[in-house]
Homo-oligomer: A and B are copies of this chain.
């Protein structure tokens, strides 16, 4: 086994390196695309500089935070340092590597996105195909980098430490960075977006991306730091966490000698990355194609390749077919949930039409109908996740004790196998959104605007699917992490000789479990509230600043040539505000976990994680889908329905869209990460909670 495990690990490393090669090639290709005129480059540089400044300041705060956490880990995790320092050191280092890798993939994403946006804008003058390709390949660099880094990181940490807990540490590093990056980026992007729209579109009636608007550059910066870097960190985190959970359980099943189960995890993850590479390679627009179709068809290619190759590998290496089936179910359910999200947000479907129509009666009805459909939208996803977990469990239970939860974790790995493709599609969105902004601000003409409008709209459609997918993946992953948590608790109990403290599960009727359950369920609501209030406060500051500029800079409102707003001021407000607001919400979730753990011990934590997962999924799905629904209802009206732009219905729909913005881009997707972080802390603290708790 030793040899064959090495073979698969080397294969994982090899394919990771291959993905970096592909990313580098794509990056070079994007860079080699034609340059734009002076104006495009100047504005592009503004955006690039703004994004980099924010990232630098954010990372410098997060570095300090990570440093403190690393020291705490060194002192207390998995056991107090006076009981042995070696494990703690490994854990602290794994944690730091996790944060660095996550930060790096965010940085790479920003790097290429802020080039690809100009290239796509310039290419749009020539036609939709080259503009699409520039946008997509820019996104694909991020996709390849994120998945390559995560596979490389997990494999390397595992090869060096041979310890599953160290991978949890690595995963925790990635997740905590993701938590703050997603929150910070989310607050930045929506502060800018809402403020720009509110003063620009609503008050003054000037178009989106109008260069007179002082917040317009900040808005474009926000797309990059929120949607590119934030979403990348989010999926990096889910991907690593799903592998970590699977490996913890695989190792526990394999015993002292890592064998078949560990190999299966590496093999499937490697094939997933490989399939994504092929999928990215095939993505282009055919003759009579539209961009949405091009994005979706390469996703389907990836899915099919993955299913076939894993089946082949299962046959060839005699893996368990039941585990293959669990992974396949995960992938299938992920796709179905994506399609369900699409139904609730697609502008050719009933919900968007209903909300658009309700908007004729005023903004209250836009909100009410959007909230209602948002609530309805949780059903298919929750039932889908529940059914996937149930099926994976039943399929794998016959393999022996412990296999059932391992099956769920492999279902999550299966669902996340195509994550490279998902990230590529997802990063494509903000890139072409930026390209649209550049076309407008640099006046590249009506034709280019039509092209980028059409690319942008495809980005929005695909985004609904990828977001549903990301939440579903996080859902299955955290269920798997719940399994990893029990494994960790039992390993710790064994190591401490506390055999009577070993657990077989969490009984809802036990008071500590139920206590944890209710408290855990409240946390995602509080977390979302804190982020949204952050956006709210911040946007109020920025709106005042925009008003100030329009009132004091002579000629700005009229668009006098040569008069420019002070873009930097708005970027600065978004940056400072986001950095101030990004720590408290995440910290609250972390501290609540510690408090519950110290009060109620591991049983309370089991309940707490469950409550957190249940209410987290519910709220994340609700907020993402209702946000997407409002966004597309507004666009649907803008396409000329119910009176089109400027009508009362449109004004009402804009209110819906503004409410939906922080729902879908700040709070909703951050909840994913919040759940994952909390689950990982629980696993890492299992020894501590086992030995130190009030009840």
Contacts and interface: CB of A to CB of B under 8 A. Distances in A.
A532 B362 CA distance: 16
A132 interface: no
Interface string A443-469: 000000000000000000000000000
A298 interface: no
Contact of A526 (B202, B379, B615): B379
A361 B617 contact: no
Identify which of A361, A386, A533, A695 gathers the most chain B CB atoms within 10 Å of its CB.
A386
A70 interface: no
A618 interface: yes
Contacts of A482: 508-509
A43 interface: no
Contact of A655 (B367, B383, B514, B611): B367
A373 interface: yes
A611 B616 CA distance: 12
A156 interface: no
Interface string A101-141: 00000000000000000000000000000000000000000
A521 B387 contact: no
Nearest to A393: B511
Contacts of A363: 363-364, 655
Contacts of A511: 389-390, 393-394, 397, 404
Contacts of A202: 362
Contacts of A510: 505
Contact of A383 (B367, B397, B522): B522
A498 interface: no
A515 interface: yes
A659 B363 CA distance: 9
A509 B543 CA distance: 49
> What is the interface of chain A mostly: helix, strand, loop, or mixed?
helix
A597 to B, nearest CB: 15
B518 A386 contact: yes
A374 to B, nearest CB: 8
A506 interface: yes
B515 A486 contact: no
Given A515-B389, A521-B618, A508 B509 contact: no
Interface string A535-557: 11001100100000000000000
A304 interface: no
Interface string A663-686: 000000000000000000000000
Contact of A375 (B507, B519, B528, B662): B528
A505 B509 contact: yes
A292 interface: no
Given A379-B526, A507-B506, A614-B615, A386 B536 contact: no
Contacts of A543: 361
Contacts of A525: 375-376, 378-379, 618, 622
A97 B521 CA distance: 37
A297 interface: no
A529 B375 contact: yes
A521 B361 CA distance: 32
Interface string A351-373: 00000001001111101110111
A529 B355 CA distance: 13
Interface string A636-661: 00000000000000000011001100
A318 interface: no
A610 interface: yes
A432 interface: no
Contact of A508 (B364, B532, B610): B610
A427 interface: no
A405 interface: yes
B379 A522 contact: yes
26 contacts: A198-B362, A363-B655, A367-B367, A367-B659, A368-B532, A368-B535, A372-B530, A372-B533, A372-B536, A375-B525, A375-B528, A375-B532, A379-B522, A379-B526, A382-B519, A382-B522, A386-B517, A386-B519, A394-B695, A482-B509, A504-B509, A505-B510, A508-B610, A518-B614, A521-B615, A614-B614
Given A521-B617, A614-B614, 12 more contacts: A198-B361, A198-B362, A362-B655, A364-B655, A367-B655, A369-B536, A378-B525, A386-B515, A386-B517, A505-B508, A508-B513, A614-B615
Closest 5 CB pairs of A and B: A505-B507, A364-B658, A393-B511, A375-B529, A386-B518
Interface of A: 194, 198, 202, 358, 361-365, 367-369, 371-376, 378-379, 382-383, 385-387, 389-390, 393-394, 397, 404-405, 479, 482-483, 486, 504-519, 521-522, 525-526, 528-530, 532-533, 535-536, 539-540, 543, 606-607, 610-611, 614-615, 617-618, 622, 654-655, 658-659, 662, 695
